[in-house]
């Protein structure tokens, strides 16, 4: 074999070295970017879940209020009048 076939052109080795250096230099920035994206995704999911839970709680409270009003209205008017009279007379 000739010497020309076994040696690598210095321009190629310089190019490979530069690419390796570039990749090693970019790694911390890429890792930090991935961390920030993951964190923001988790926070937005948490905010969405909190909003959804609040909406469901409001629906439950509204339903309880409606049931309470329905219970009050289903009592006969005579009973309501008698109860009101007792409350007024206790003054």
pLDDT in tens, 53-76: 999 999 999 999 998 888 777 766
pLDDT of residue 5: 65
* Tally of CB atoms within 10 A around 10: 8
pLDDT of residue 22: 80
State residue 68 phi and psi, 5-degree precision: -65, -45
pLDDT in tens, 1-45: 555 567 777 777 777 777 778 878 888 889 999 999 999 999 999
Residue 26, classed as helix, strand or coil, is helix
Per-domain boundaries in the chain: 13-43, 51-91
Token pair 């008698």 is at which residue?
A: 82
pLDDT of residue 3: 57
């Amino acid at each position: 074999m000739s010497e020309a076939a076994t040696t690598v052109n210095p321009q190629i080795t310089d190019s490979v070295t530069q690419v390796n250096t570039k990749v090693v230099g970019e790694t911390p920035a890429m890792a930090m970017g991935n961390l920030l994206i993951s964190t923001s995704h988790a926070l937005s999911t948490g905010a969405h879940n909190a909003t959804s839970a609040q909406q469901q709680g409001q629906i439950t409270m509204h339903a309880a209020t409606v049931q309470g009003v329905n219970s009050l209205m289903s009592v006969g008017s005579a009973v309501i009048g008698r109860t009101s009279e007792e409350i007024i007379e206790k003054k």
